Amino acid sequence: MVFFLWLIYRQLTAKGDLGQQWQALRSYWHSAGPSWFTLVILLAPVNWFWEAVKWQRVVRYLHPVTLWVSFKAVVTGIAFGMVTPGKLGDFAGRILYVPQRKRVAAAIGTLMTNLIQVAASSTAGMAGVIYFLWHHHSGRWLSDFLKICGLVVILLGILWGTRRRWTGWLLQFRPFRKMARYFRVLKRYDTRDIVFIYGFSLVKYLTYNMQFLLLANLLGAQVPWVAGIFATMMMYWLLMAIPSFMLADISVRGFVAGVVFLETGLALNGVSLLAASYVTWLLNLVLPAVIGSVLMVGIRQKSKSISQ
């Protein structure tokens, strides 16, 4: 964390105008209308809603839940994910809202949802990288990257098309035989379910991106909208690949934002960009994690009362 914070400081002071950047941020903060900031704040629960709709669709074959229960599961999962690298503990919070005997199957369904989210985020991230290479580089860089993207898409298509065969082969091995009945839940999801989850995953990703870009420009970063949205998609794709958590997540986010926007000249104010990155992080991860932590206390107290 300390190392990345030092790198962020180097990024912000590279032009020697840190004081001017801070004054510009204050000026934009006071001049922007409250309605725009209200919109930025409201986009956070919209992101939670997209995720709740996805998870409700996933568990409907196991233990149908209301949208409100799905929302509580999502924010509880965020609370667990905040303290694990790469937010891998997300499923542990969500499965608390399904019966004990169905929690393993729910965890597998949640894992499938997270993988689809990775696929949707990667699709947008690849689009961002292609746009960046198209405008800032030429020739072999773009050609090689397109070939890699095409190969990845083909491999994923083969894996998806042959999923019944390789999962059946995998379950023949002794370590996986005990898990066979849980993995059978994946057979319940058809193409419509996958497309539904993928679509909402992509919408959620783009909503998150637009929230950051809108806030950055409200605070004076002055990022071009078209190039900015593609750069934002690339930035969050890079962040997804870095398994940071807790305080380390703060420094990594700031550094990656600086690399994508400051090093390329897309943003004119590094302080505004940093502020937008951290406020977006607070609204979409820290705030729901706090709510999820409160809900976990309620679940624990309920469990104690039942046991007594």
What is the per-residue pLDDT across 50-104, written as a single tens digit (0 to 9) for each?
Answer: 999 999 999 998 889 999 999 999 999 988 887 777 677 788 889 889 888 888 8
- Asked, for residue 96, whether it belongs to a domain, the answer is yes
Residue 26 within a domain: no
Question: Would you state the pLDDT for residue 212?
Answer: 92
Residue 9 is assigned to a structural domain of this protein: no
DSSP per residue, the chain:
-HHHHHHHHHHHTTTS-HHHHHHHHHHHHHHS-HHHHHHHHHHHHHHHHHHHHHHHHHHTTTS---HHHHHHHHHHHHHHHTTSGGGTTHHHHHGGGS-GGGHHHHHHHHHHHHHHHHHHHHHHHHHHHHHHHHHH--THHHHHHHHHHHHHHHHHHHHHHTHHHHHHHHTTSHHHHTTHHHHGGGGG--HHHHHHHHHHHHHHHHHHHHHHHHHHHHTT----HHHHHHHHHHHHHHHHHS---THHHHHHHHHHHIIIIITTT--S-HHHHHHHHHHHHIIIIIHHHHHHHHHHHHHHHHHHHHH-
For the residues 149-172, what does the mean pLDDT come to? 74
User: Does any domain span residue 7?
Assistant: no
Does 232 map to a domain? yes
Please report which confidence band the pLDDT of residue 245 belongs to, taking 50, 70 and 90 as the band edges. Answer: low
pLDDT value at residue 270: 77
pTM above 0.95, yes or no: no
Q: What is the number of structural domains in the chain?
A: 1
Q: Domain range spanning residue 280? A: 35-297
11 inside domain: no
Predicted local confidence at residue 244, as pLDDT: 66
